Chains A and B, each alone.
Chain A
Amino acid sequence: MKGQGDAMRDTAPEEGYVTADGRKIGGVAMEMRNITLRFGGVVAIKDISFDIRWGEIRAIIGPNGAGKSSMLNVISGFYHPQEGDVIFKGYKRPKMRPYQVARMGIARTFQNIALFEGMSVLDNIMTGRLHHMKANLFQQALWWGRAQREEDENREQVEKIIDFLEIQHIRKTPVARLPYGLKKRVELARALAAEPSILLLDEPMAGMNVEEKEDMSRFILDVNDEFGTTTVLIEHDMGVVMDLSDRVVVMDYGKKIGDGTPDEVRTNEEVIKAYLGVAHE
Chain B
Amino acid sequence: MPDTLLFAMEATLNGLTAGVMYALVALGFVLIFKASGIFNFAQGVMALFAALTLVGFQSGQIPFSHLINAMFGTRLHHFGWNMPTLLAIPATVLVMILLAVLVERFILKHLVNQEPIILFMATIGLAYFLEGVGDIMWGAEVKALDVGLPKGMSGAVDDVTFAWFGYGFYIDRLEIWAAGIAALLVAALTVFSQYTKQGRALRAVADDHQAALSVGISLRFIWVLTWSIAGIVALVAGIMWGSKSGVQFSLSLIALKALPVLILGGFTSIPGAIIGGLIIGVGEKLFDFFMSPIIGGATENWFAYMLALVFLLFRPQGLFGERIIERV
Residue interface mask B247-283, A partner, CB < 8 A = 1: 0000000000000000000000000000000000000
Determine the distance from Cα of A116 to Cα of B195 in the docked complex, in whole angstroms. Answer: 17
- CB within 8 A of A194: which of B195, B201, B210, B216? B216
Q: Does the CB pair B214–A110 fall under 8 Å?
A: yes
Q: Does the CB pair B211–A140 fall under 8 Å?
A: no
Residue of B nearest to A154 (CB): B197
Q: Is A18 an interface residue (CB 8 A)?
A: no
Q: Does the CB pair B203–A126 fall under 8 Å?
A: no
Interface size of A in residues (CB-CB distance below 8 Å): 32
- CB within 8 A of B215: which of A100, A102, A140, A141? A102
Residues of B within 8 A of A103 (CB): 216
Q: Is A178 an interface residue (CB 8 A)?
A: no
- Given contacts A118-B207, A141-B192, is CB(A97)–CB(B214) below 8 Å? no
Q: Is B196 an interface residue (CB 8 A)?
A: yes
Q: Does the CB pair A140–B203 fall under 8 Å?
A: no
Determine the distance from Cα of A103 to Cα of B214 in the docked complex, in whole angstroms. Answer: 9
- Given contacts A110-B210, A115-B208, A141-B195, is CB(A130)–CB(B219) below 8 Å? no
- Given contacts A130-B200, A137-B196, is CB(A102)–CB(B208) below 8 Å? no
Residue of B nearest to A194 (CB): B215
Residues of B within 8 A of A141 (CB): 188, 191-192, 195-196
Determine the distance from Cα of A137 to Cα of B200 in the docked complex, in whole angstroms. Answer: 12
- Given contacts A99-B216, A102-B214, A141-B191, is CB(A130)–CB(B207) below 8 Å? no
Q: Is B322 an interface residue (CB 8 A)?
A: yes
Give 21 CB contacts A-B under 8 Å.
Answer: A76-B214, A98-B213, A99-B218, A107-B215, A110-B210, A110-B214, A116-B203, A116-B207, A116-B208, A118-B206, A119-B203, A119-B204, A127-B201, A127-B204, A127-B212, A130-B200, A130-B201, A130-B215, A133-B197, A191-B214, A194-B215
Determine the distance from Cα of A135 to Cα of B214 in the docked complex, in whole angstroms. Answer: 21
Q: Does the CB pair B217–A99 fall under 8 Å?
A: yes
Q: Does the CB pair B195–A114 fall under 8 Å?
A: no
Residues of chain A in range 5-28 having any CB-CB distance to chain B below 8 Å: none
Determine the distance from Cα of A98 to Cα of B196 in the docked complex, in whole angstroms. Answer: 23
Q: Does the CB pair A127–B210 fall under 8 Å?
A: no
Q: Is B299 an interface residue (CB 8 A)?
A: no
Residue interface mask A105-147, B partner, CB < 8 A = 1: 0011010001111110001001110110101010011010000
Instruction: Give the number of residue pairs across the A-B interface with Cβ within 8 Å.
Output: 82
Q: Is B198 an interface residue (CB 8 A)?
A: yes
The binding surface of chain B is classed by DSSP as helix
Q: Does the CB pair A130–B203 fall under 8 Å?
A: no
Known pairs A116-B208, A118-B206. 6 more at Cβ < 8 A?
Answer: A100-B216, A102-B214, A110-B211, A123-B203, A130-B204, A130-B216
Q: Does the CB pair A98–B208 fall under 8 Å?
A: no
Q: Does the CB pair A127–B213 fall under 8 Å?
A: no
Q: Is A190 an interface residue (CB 8 A)?
A: yes
Residues of chain B in range 309-324 having any CB-CB distance to chain A below 8 Å: 322
| B residues whose Cβ falls under 8 Å from a Cβ of A | 188, 191-192, 195-198, 200-201, 203-204, 206-208, 210-219, 322
Residues of A within 8 A of B196 (CB): 137, 140-141
Determine the distance from Cα of A97 to Cα of B112 in the docked complex, in whole angstroms. Answer: 14
Q: Does the CB pair B207–A119 fall under 8 Å?
A: yes
Residues of A within 8 A of B213 (CB): 78, 97-99, 102
Q: Chain B's nearest CB lies how many Å from the CB of A180?
A: 12
- Given contacts A119-B203, A140-B195, A143-B195, is CB(A107)–CB(B214) below 8 Å? yes
Residues of B within 8 A of A102 (CB): 213-216
Nearest first, the 8 A-B pairs at minimum CB distance are: A102-B216, A114-B211, A116-B207, A140-B196, A98-B213, A103-B216, A131-B216, A133-B197
Determine the distance from Cα of A117 to Cα of B322 in the docked complex, in whole angstroms. Answer: 11
Q: Does the CB pair B208–A190 fall under 8 Å?
A: no
Q: Chain B's nearest CB lies how many Å from the CB of A65?
A: 21
Residue of A nearest to B268 (CB): A118
Q: Please indicate which of the listed interface residues A97, A99, A119 has the most CB atoms of chain B within 10 Å of its own CB.
A: A99
Residues of chain A in range 139-186 having any CB-CB distance to chain B below 8 Å: 140-141, 143
Residue of B nearest to A175 (CB): B207
Residues of B within 8 A of A123 (CB): 200, 203
Q: Please indicate which of the listed interface residues B192, B207, B213, B216 has the most CB atoms of chain A within 10 Å of its own CB.
A: B216
Determine the distance from Cα of A108 to Cα of B210 in the docked complex, in whole angstroms. Answer: 11
Residues of A within 8 A of B214 (CB): 76, 98, 102, 107-108, 110, 114, 191
Residues of chain A in range 194-251 having any CB-CB distance to chain B below 8 Å: 194
Residue of B nearest to A103 (CB): B216
Residue of A nearest to B222 (CB): A99
Q: Chain B's nearest CB lies how many Å from the CB of A72?
A: 11
Residues of B within 8 A of A119 (CB): 203-204, 207
Q: Chain B's nearest CB lies how many Å from the CB of A6?
A: 32
Q: Chain B's nearest CB lies how many Å from the CB of A2?
A: 32
Residues of B within 8 A of A143 (CB): 195
Residue interface mask A64-77, B partner, CB < 8 A = 1: 00000000000010
Residue of B nearest to A123 (CB): B200
Determine the distance from Cα of A175 to Cα of B196 in the docked complex, in whole angstroms. Answer: 21
Determine the distance from Cα of A212 to Cα of B79 in the docked complex, in whole angstroms. Answer: 72
Q: Does the CB pair A135–B197 fall under 8 Å?
A: yes
Residues of B within 8 A of A127 (CB): 200-201, 204, 212, 215, 217
